[in-house]
Structure 1
Amino acid sequence: MSQPDKTREPPYDGGCLCGAVRYSFSVPTIGARICHCRTCQKAMGAPFLAQASFPKTSLNVTGETARFRSSARLWRHFCGICGTRLFIEPVDAPNRIGIPIATLDDPEVIRPERHIWVSEKLDWVRIDDGLPQHPKASPVPYRDI
């Protein structure tokens, strides 16, 4: 019986809205966070970004993505056809890649572990999930790769 309040075991499959780009991971996530920073808000066109990170070498992808450097430390990859934001690639951690959890075929399989950048959270967003909250970046490192 699955535990809906826990991250489930891999594999994790997902892709863009039009189906031109598909991805999969066969390893567990090394961390899942909800980011409330203004850059993520604007990049996603949403009040926050729920994202999971993985070892970059574990990413299997089919299809082409375009990318945009949204800050000095992040490349954001997206489908060039439908525009779905797919990968978050940190320049300062070249062995890690993130995905928006909502792009998974089943977004319930990975549960966020904490909120970060809550100092930039929109006033009308209410956080009542009991997860740890950090005003800026998380002081908790990602799990080892």
Structure 2
Amino acid sequence: MTQTRTGGCQCGRIRYEVSDPGDEAYYCHCRKCQKATGGIAAAFVQVEPSKVTWLTEPDWYQSSPVARRPFCSKCGTPLGFAWADGTGDMDLTVGSFDDPAGFRPALHAGCEGMHQAWLDTSALPRLYTATTGSVVKRWQAAGLEVPE
């Protein structure tokens, strides 16, 4: 049975479907991915381009001589990575999937840029959005419920 997973950008303008993406994801720690996502690593699901259907075509930018990246120019959401020459598999950002919970990290790539101190954060205190007063107050002042 074919499993279809959906995703898109934060504002909803860009949407996609992927057939049979599997459950493996990976972290890329290279500096290009850090800069492209603004994070200490990019979390990606690697897929065959033929399995991706863009319901709304994303914007693309050439992030290096060998790569280009889909994104939403309205809200800024980074959506992935593809080789500039159009060959090989492509990556979609784990966070852009509507339900990223089904993916599991399977490897680290671009380890020359890895920030070791950020790998095991399990001992750090955990704050939840719905119980952080300053956040709740702002959502309520906007007349809205705190999002998940």
**TM-score, with length taken from structure 1:** 0.74
Deviation at residue 32 of structure 1 after TM alignment: 2.5
Selected match of 1:66 from 59, 74, 90: 59
Which of the two has greater helix per residue? 2
Query: Which residue of structure 1 lines up, in the alignment, with residue 26 of structure 2?
Result: 33
Q: What one-letter code is carried by the residue in structure 2 that aligns with 1:103? A: S
- Identical aligned pairs, as a percentage? 31
Equivalent position SS for 1:83: coil
Deviation at residue 123 of structure 1 after TM alignment: 4.5
Q: Which runs of 5+ in 2 are unaligned?
A: 123-148
Q: 1:89 to 1:31 in 2, by over 3 A?
A: farther
The CA RMSD over aligned residues, in Å, is 2.3
Structure 1 stretch displaced more, 88-97 or 14-23: 88-97
Equivalent position SS for 2:117: coil
**TM-score, with length taken from structure 2:** 0.72
Q: What one-letter code is carried by the residue in structure 1 that aligns with 2:13? A: A
Q: Which runs of 5+ in 1 are unaligned?
A: 1-8, 130-145
Equivalent position SS for 2:100: coil
Query: Which residue of structure 1 lines up, in the alignment, with residue 39 of structure 2?
Result: 46
Q: Summarize the alignment of residues 102-121 of structure 1 with structure 2, pairs less than 5 Å apart.
A: 102-121=95-114
Structure 1 stretch displaced more, 87-96 or 47-56: 87-96
Matched length: 121
Q: What one-letter code is carried by the residue in structure 2 that aligns with 1:49? A: A
Larger Rg belongs to: 2
